Amino acid sequence: TTTILMLLGLTEPSAGQALVAGFDPLRDPLEVKRRVGYLPDSVGFYDGLSALDNLAYTGRLAGLSRREIDARFKAAMARVGLPDVGHARVGTFSRGMRQRLGLAEILMKQPSIAILDEPTAALDPHSTQEFLGMIRGLKADGTAVLLSSHHLDQVQSVCDRVALFNRGRIELSGTVTDLAGEVLGGGYVIDVEARGAGIPELLAAIPGVVRVRPSGPDLYRVDCQSDLRGEIARRLAPAADLTGIRFAAPSLNEVYTRYFAGGGHADAA
């Protein structure tokens, strides 16, 4: 959150420099605001005003005409699943509805960058999945999305690249596959389903296998340096009943846990 506030020009860095789309948020705050849509973890609206009045105010600040405001408002509210509450007071909205309205505000502005701070906090599982789908929609529109969250499974489901912070510094950054290769020792994770004796030892003996972990009855997760599915099948065929072999997506939760485990990184996020 502190980093986001610096990117928005709302907090001054104690050292270093932040640039957003090539602009310094402190020296060129208006240029940054023109390009950025922001959804904080607790969305602030005027509770006594309707959804339309709240977003119309935002539209006027962005220099939109009344016709543009009306058209964008209708399109945005339909897209976030709130087409029939435009004239309802925001004070009557649930937490989930307010989050959706915050995303509608970003859609109205049509920014090149959207910054979302813990956007699914306090949402139920169904609402969370719907909201993540809307975030993917922003990405499909060509909007660059910067998402801050402690829910690593959600981050992995929507983000192309991730960065892990620890005490104000980026400890790791890259794709999940890149981070898995760096932290787990292999960029490939293969799930093997087989029945027989000595399977973990057979798998561990294959060159390029970094680690073998039982993941259930007759199930093994294998960290590899390359795609070893063919070699695994050949090695197990004479000694085991192999019933399944497939790629498994590396887990960001696992990367996080392994990297920060036992290293005094209690404040990592």
pLDDT tens digit sequence for 222-251: 988 888 999 999 999 998 999 999 988 778
Architecture of the CATH domain 2-174: 3-Layer(aba) Sandwich (3.40)
Q: What is the pLDDT of residue 249?
A: 72
Q: Model's pTM, two decimal places?
A: 0.78
Confidence of residue 9 (pLDDT cuts 50, 70, 90): very high
Look at residues 213, 174, 159 and name the one whose alpha carbon lies nearest to residue 190: 213
Mean pLDDT confidence for 104-108:
96
pLDDT in tens, 182-219: 887 666 889 999 999 999 999 999 999 999 999 999 99
Q: What's residue 114's pLDDT? A: 97
Rounded (10°) angle between helices 176-183 and 252-260: 40
Where in the chain are all domains bearing CATH 3.40.50.300?
2-174
pLDDT band at residue 165 using 50, 70 and 90 as cut-offs: confident
Give the domain 185-249 fold.
Alpha-Beta Plaits (3.30.70)
* Cβ neighbours around 139 below 10 Å, total: 15
Per-residue model confidence (pLDDT) at position 186: 60
Predicted local distance difference test score (pLDDT) of residue 223: 87
Contacts of 197 (CB under 8 A, 6+ apart): 239, 240
Residue 52 pLDDT exceeds 70: yes
Query: Is 199 exposed, middle or buried, given 0-12, 13-18 or 19+ CB atoms closer than 10 A?
Result: buried
**pLDDT value at residue 266:** 43
Task: Answer with the residue of higher pLDDT: 132 or 224.
Answer: 132
All CATH 3.30.70.100 domain ranges of the chain, comma separated, are: 185-249
pLDDT of 178 reads 85
pLDDT band at 268 (very low <50, low <70, confident <90, very high): very low
pLDDT band at 264 (very low <50, low <70, confident <90, very high): very low
- Work out the pLDDT band at 263, boundaries 50, 70, 90: low
Mean pLDDT, range 87-94, rounded to an integer: 96
In this prediction, residues 113-125 reach a mean pLDDT of 92
- Spatial separation of the C-alpha atoms in residues 148 and 40, rounded to whole Å: 10
pLDDT of residue 169: 84
